Amino acid sequence: MIKYESDILVIGSGIAGMSAAHYAAENGFSVNIITKGDIVKDSNTYYAQGGIIYRGEKDSPDSLIKDIISAGAHLSLPENVRILATEGVFYIQDLLIGKAKINFTKDEGGQFDLTEEAAHSVRRIIHSNDSTGKAIANGLYRLIKKNKMITFFDHHLGIDLIINHVHSRDKLSIYDPPEVQGAFVLDTREKEIKIFTAKAVILASGGLGQIYKYTTNPLSATGDGFAMAERAGAQIINMEYTQFHPTALYIKKPNMFLISEALRGEGAQLKTIDNKDFMKKYHPGKSLAPRDVVARAIQEEMLKNQHPYVHLDIHSYLPSKIIKKKFPTIYKTCLENKINITKEPIPVVPAFHYICGGVKVDKWGRSGIRRLFSAGEASCTGIHGANRLASTSLLESLVWGGRIIKYISENTSKYKLNRNYKIKPIKISSHQFQVIDPACIKQDWSNLQNIMWNYVGLTRSKKRLTRALNNLKSLSNMIFEFYQKRKYNIEVIELKNAVQTAIIITRSALKNRRSNGTHYRID
């Protein structure tokens, strides 16, 4: 097996991975960064529309802290929320504006154009029109791609974290505290398994939206990081807090196009197909009520009226010129789907959007496993509590990407490669990469996504969750046996990770009998 070594191994190339890689290189560390698809496009970061929290007029860290904790249904960890609220501006100025020169939209007076989203008490979100994530992903990659300290490995999928008590040849290492040494990685183009070792590993592998039938996440979001972390023995928490975005474009595609909350921030209103303004019945914040409330209200109206979607009306509230200027990507994408948003309402439905839980980490991004850090959607700093405040996720990824490197550079003596660690290689044979019948893979995904959408979705009960868990366990056993001879095929690895992640979510949801934020029990 080919071996690669670096000071730091970063798994994932969204904003968390790329900012960590940048700060690592700036501090003199060599970095290998692996990503299973395209470096820039295959991450949730790339698809973020609305923006990133900066600071508004008459804003303060205390006011942001209050908004995050209240959106998070009072389950957010105050210490980490305060870190985000006080350090966020520094990281945006230093990395995104200063070094990566990201072109955030300005108003006519040359100031940042601040937008509003649900549950924010002031306008404090900066954006790059309606494709903020794309601007950030491109900007960060432009900045770091020529850095000699950083090596990119695209189309490289993490198979497993290398952990002493599982992968060391030294039998007695089971008595040592768990410690990560790197990762087994599949080069999906060359169909080859490689070993990456490092002094520290940063798991920034993003989200899991593809386990649900409807999601705003790209096809790459299959929950690989959560499954890998669980197999390595990391603690994973708050996985029942699955955030559904209220407004995804109603089109039949595996990853649905997001209709940013920023439209509602600019006045767009939700209405039934027969033009009834229903949100006032559900919450005083109406269309800008917290996300979970809006998503459930939409679902209820759809069920009650037997409608396949609801309408989001922007054309009655904003002049056509402004709509096109502020939301060029949404305007263009809807037009490609034969909807002119300057003249007619947009058909929308809720879709899975973001997981608030993840690998439990502390204020420096440290997991419970030595030398394993995590940042971004894969991690849980506790900031999002039971429901994430809009536009906090890019900021959390950026700040924790930076803080992990700050911690490592201030504690270099703790981060040494363990040269006594002899890794047991994975046994492979060439047939393990052979092509798999796509009909089987497709059907397994469809089973998984339906179970999750129907039983572990917007509303939950003991009966639904128990049924989901039983179905998922038998799906998992079947997959394990059926694909045993092809287990290092990318399709199989992703599918297994997805089912394992779905089981983690379902177990957490079953255990937590109290409705809170995005976890809504109807029993």
Q: What is the set of active-site residues?
A: 291
Residue 237: Cβ-neighbour burial (10 angstroms; 0-12, 13-18, 19+): middle
Give me the least distance between CB of 294 and ligand SIN, in Å please. Answer: 11
With beta carbons less than 8 A apart as the criterion, state whether 179 and 164 touch: yes
CB of 259 to ligand SIN, least distance (A): 8
One DSSP character per residue, 6-59 reads EEEEEE--SHHHHHHHHHHHHTT--EEEE-SS-TTTSSHHHH--S-EE---TT-
Q: Residue 281, CB half-sphere, CA atoms under 13 Å: how many?
A: 11
- Distance of closest approach, residue 410 Cβ to ligand SIN, in angstroms: 31
What span, in angstroms and rounded, lies between the C-alpha atoms of 38 and 55?
32
Instruction: Give residue for tokens 């504006």.
Output: 97
Nearer Cβ to ligand SIN (137/193): 137
Q: What are phi and psi of 8, to 5 degrees?
A: -130, 135
Of the pair 158, 385, the CB lying nearest ligand SIN is at: 385
The amino acid at 122 = V
CB-based closest residue to ligand SIN? 50
1 to each of 192, 424, 496, how far by Cα in Å? 8, 11, 23
Residue in this structure with the two tokens 């700050």, named with its chain if needed: 406
Strands 2-11 and 31-34: parallel
- In angstroms, give the least distance from the CB of 437 to ligand SIN: 36
Q: Least Å distance between CB 447 and ligand SIN?
A: 28
Q: Which is nearer to ligand SIN, 182 or 207 (CB)?
A: 207
Q: What is the 3-state secondary structure (H, E, C) of 189-237?
A: CCCEEEEEEEEEEEECCCCCHHHCCCECCCCCCCCHHHHHHHHHCCCEE
Burial per residue of 403-427, b for 16 or more beta-carbon CB atoms within 10 angstroms, e otherwise? bbbebbeeeeeebebbeebebeebe
Cβ neighbors of 250 (< 8 A, separation 6 or more) are 256, 308, 309, 347, 348, 349
Smallest gap from residue 302 Cβ to ligand SIN (A): 19
- Separation of alpha carbons 293 and 437, rounded Å: 41
Strand ranges in 116-218 using DSSP code E only, listed in sequence order: 125-126, 150-153, 156-163, 180-187, 192-203
Positions in the binding site for ligand SIN (CB under 6 A): 49-50, 260-262, 353, 390-391, 393
- CA–CA separation, 217 and 46 (whole Å): 10
94 to each of 110, 307, 512, how far by Cα in Å?
19, 48, 40
Count CA atoms closer than 13 A to 152's CA, side-chain side: 20
- Is 112 or 184 the residue whose CB approaches ligand SIN more closely? 112
Residue number with CB closer to ligand SIN (13 or 128): 128
Q: Among residues 227 and 390, whose Cβ is nearest to ligand SIN? A: 390
- Cβ at position 499, least distance to ligand SIN in Å: 26
Q: Which is nearer to ligand SIN, 81 or 185 (CB)?
A: 81
Q: Which two tokens stand for residue 146?
A: 């020529």
Shortest distance, position 55 Cβ to ligand SIN, whole Å: 17
Nearer to ligand SIN, 123 or 521 (CB): 123
